Amino acid sequence: MGSTPCEQKGKSSMIKREREEGQKQEALLSERTMAVPQRLGPRPRTTPRTPHLQQDQHGAPEMSAMLAERVFALPDIEEGQSTISDPRSRAFWLKRSVPAGPPNAFLGRREIGHFHPWDGSMHVMLPPDVARQAVASGWAEVHPVAAAGMAPENLVMVYSPRDEQEVNVLFALLQAAYRYAGGRLPEHTEKPIPGEKK
């Protein structure tokens, strides 16, 4: 049994609307990217398996503390114990009152990431495109568990900040993770993130 001309026209316009909506979403995604500057110097040495630790190039503890304070001051973020890390880690969670983003925005439950007090590094679920940019620019590396295919590829270690300029860059990355966890994409900006060299 064939469809009537009216039904065919309805299906055609529905497909057209879906295609247009998909194109709008793609344009929105490509518009809302961040410019991640290149990190100066070589990457720090890290352990190739769990526990995944940064072995050198540790910033002063004050730099990591400054970054953590800025993250924990974000609206809708609360500090809690990590679902997967050492109990000494300071985990940042999206509050339950906020609608959650996609599953790959969280380490477990509503944990977006955590700070390692022993080396200043952090594990975090960055938005996938931002994670790729952060890795390519030398700020992060894919977690060994993610590299083995046992966790989403956007699970990364972000290296310890060595100075205030790096705190600013890392805060911009962590804000992207925060917005991704809350279901919001990174904001479009004509300017590079703080710390980018021209």
Res. 70 pLDDT band, cuts 50 70 90 = very high
Same domain (yes/no): 13, 52 = no
Same domain (yes/no): 6, 97 = no
Its pTM stands at 0.77
Nearest-angstrom CA–CA distance, 19 and 23: 6
Res. 34 pLDDT band, cuts 50 70 90 = confident
Range ranked top by mean pLDDT from 98-107, 175-184, 186-195: 98-107
Alpha carbon 51 to chain centroid distance? 20
Sequence-ordered strand ranges (E) for the chain: 77-80, 90-94, 111-115, 122-125, 140-142, 155-158
139 domain residue, yes or no: yes
Same domain (yes/no): 68, 140 = yes
Same domain (yes/no): 152, 103 = yes
Same domain (yes/no): 73, 149 = yes
Domain, as residue range, for 16: 1-31
Same domain (yes/no): 1, 69 = no
Provide the CATH number for the domain around residue 95. 3.90.1150
- Those residues whose C-beta lies under 8 Å from the C-beta of residue 132, and which sit 6 or more positions away, are none
Same domain (yes/no): 12, 58 = no
Nearest-angstrom CA–CA distance, 111 and 94: 7
Q: Which of 82, 86, 186 minimizes the C-alpha distance to 124?
A: 82
40 domain residue, yes or no: no
- Greatest Cα-to-Cα distance within the chain, rounded to the nearest angstrom: 74
Same domain (yes/no): 65, 19 = no
Find out whether 153 and 163 touch, Cβ atoms under 8 Å. no
What average pLDDT score do residues 7-26 get?
48
In the sheet that 111-115 helps form, which strands lie side by side, from edge to edge? 77-80, 90-94, 111-115, 122-125, 155-158, 140-142
Instruction: Look at 8 and 166; give whichever has higher pLDDT.
Output: 166
Same domain (yes/no): 85, 144 = yes
Nearest-angstrom CA–CA distance, 176 and 87: 25
